[in-house]
Amino acid sequence: MESIGGNAMRPNASTKMVLITSVVLAVFSLLPVFGVLTGVLGIDSYWLMSMAFFVLVTGNLLNGV
């Protein structure tokens, strides 16, 4: 898969870890909605989803720093 100019965007190890971390946090935040782990996490689903989004945005902004 080539992009304009011939440079393909290849994720490095830290980018993959940021993506995996944010997806795991997002999944954990959705579990109480489906009745799984209700009240076990000790943190509101909204804040957990906000942390997942913050991790993803921070990982994208600090890419290559």
Residue of higher predicted confidence among 39 and 47: 47
For residue 55, what are the CA distances in angstroms to 2, 7, 10, 11, 14?
Answer: 27, 26, 19, 16, 12
pLDDT of amino acid 53: 92
DSSP state, residue 63:
T
Domain boundaries, given as residue ranges, for the chain: 12-61
What pLDDT, in 10s, does the model give residues 13-42? 677 888 888 999 888 888 888 888 766 667
pTM above 0.75, yes or no: no
Alpha carbons 55 and 18: distance in angstroms, whole number: 7
